[in-house]
Structure 1
Amino acid sequence: DAGVAARLTRTVLGALEAEEVRRLVVVSAAPVGPEPEGDGFLDRTMRGIVSAVLKDIYADLREMEAELARSATDWTAVRPPRLQDKPLTGTYRRVVGGFPRRGRFLARADVAHAMLDAIGDRATVKQGVGVAY
C-alpha cells in the first residue's frame, strides 16, 4: 500500500531514538535513486514505464528515504530492481550512491544478503545503495 513505508519508517525511527539505537538498513527500490550512468534506451524506457505505473509506491519510498535523511540515524537504503524468487548467489553488483548499469533483476535472497552486508559497512551510512546482477 502506498504510504505505509513512510508511516512505518517514522514509527521505527521514533522507537530507535527511544532505545538509543543508531543503525537502520531498509529496502527501497531502484527507481527511487539516481539513474545509472550510460544506461541505454531500453533500460530508460522500461524504468519510465514502471515508474509511471508504480508512481504512488515510489513516492512513498521517496518520502521514506526523506524521513531517513532528516533523522540522526545511521541509515542505509538498499535499492534493488525487479525482485526474483531465486536462491542466494552472494554475487551481485553494488553502487553506493548510484545504481549498477543495466541492473534489471536481483533475487530477494541477495537483497537480504546486501542488507546484512551493509550493516557493518561505514561507506553505506546515510547512502542509497543500488544492487543488481
Structure 2
Amino acid sequence: MNLTVFGATGGIGREIVGQALASGHRVTAVVRDPARLTVTGPGLVVVRADLTDPEAVRPAVAGRDAVLSGLGPRSTKDAGVAARLTRTVLAAMEAAEVRRLVVVSAAPVGPEPDDGIVDRAARALVSKVLKAVYDDLREMEAELSRSSTDWTSVRPPRLQDKPLTGTYRRVIGGFPPKGRFIARADVAHAMLATIDDEATVKQGVGVAY
C-alpha cells in the first residue's frame, strides 16, 4: 500500500513508519523537523509541511491508499493540537479525495467498560487530571464524525515503551475489560491492521493487553 503518516516523529508515529516499511508498504512521513525522524529505509519519503495549511499538506496525501495519524497532545499544555491539526488533515484528504483515515485517540474518549470499582476510580482520576487532553481528543473525534472520510479511531489506555508483541485485545465500539496498558509499538500494529478492516470504518476501537 501507499501510506501517509502524520506525527511520524512521535512514539506511535515512528512505530507506524517502521512497521509499515518492514511490511513492504511505501510510506510518506509528514513532519515539521525531518532531523527528528530516525526511521529510514527503502520506500520512505519524508515531507516537511506546515500542518496548519491544508493546501500544503494535500500533495502528501493525494493518491494514497490510506492516511494514519499519530498526532495528539503530549501534555495538558498541548491540548487543542489534536483537533486543530486533524482538521487540516481532513481538509487535505477531502480535497484530494482520499477516504481512509486511521487516528490514535485514548481509551477515556470511548465507552466505559464494565470494570471493577478500582479500575473505574482510577479512570475517573486520570480523566480529571487530563481533562483538557481528553476534551481535545473528543473534539478530534467529533471532527472525524462530521467528515466524509472512512475513519477509525484507535483508543489505547496507558502507553508503554516496550517491544512489539502483536498480541493484544481489541474491541470495536468498546474497550477491553480491565485493559490498563499497551505498548506504543502494539498501538501502531493495531492501527496498521485496521486499514483494510471494513468492520472498523467509522468506529472507535479499544485496544489493550
Q: Which amino acid aligns with 2:205?
A: V
Corresponding position of 1:35: 112
- TM-score of the superposed pair, with normalisation by structure 2: 0.63
Whose RCO is larger (CA < 8 A, sep 6+)? 1
Residue 98 (structure 1) aligned with residue 174 (structure 2): yes
Partner-residue secondary structure (3-state), 1:110: helix
Whole-Å separation in 2 of the counterparts to 1:56 and 1:100: 24
Corresponding position of 1:19: 96
Runs of 4+ in 1 over 3 A off after TM superposition: none
1:9 to 79, 83, 86: 86
Partner-residue secondary structure (3-state), 2:144: helix
Corresponding position of 1:75: 151
Corresponding position of 1:122: 198
Q: Which runs of 5+ in 1 are unaligned?
A: none
Whole-Å separation in 2 of the counterparts to 1:33 and 1:108: 19
Partner-residue secondary structure (3-state), 1:106: strand
Whole-Å separation in 1 of the counterparts to 2:103 and 2:119: 25
- TM-score of the superposed pair, with normalisation by structure 1: 0.98
- Alignment RMSD (CA, Å): 0.4
1:89 to 165, 173, 178: 165
Corresponding position of 2:31: none
Whole-Å separation in 1 of the counterparts to 2:155 and 2:165: 17
Structure with max Cα Rg: 2
Spell out, residue by residue over 1:40-84, the C-alpha distance to the aligned partner (whole angstroms, 9 max, x if none).
011100000000000000000000000000111000000000000
Give the CA deviation at 1:18: 1.0
Whole-Å separation in 2 of the counterparts to 1:25 and 1:70: 15
Count of aligned pairs = 132
Task: State the identity as a percent.
Answer: 81
Spell out, residue by residue over 1:60-109, the C-alpha distance to the aligned partner (whole angstroms, 9 max, x if none).
00000000001110000000000000000000000000000000000000
Partner-residue secondary structure (3-state), 1:35: coil
More helix by share: 1
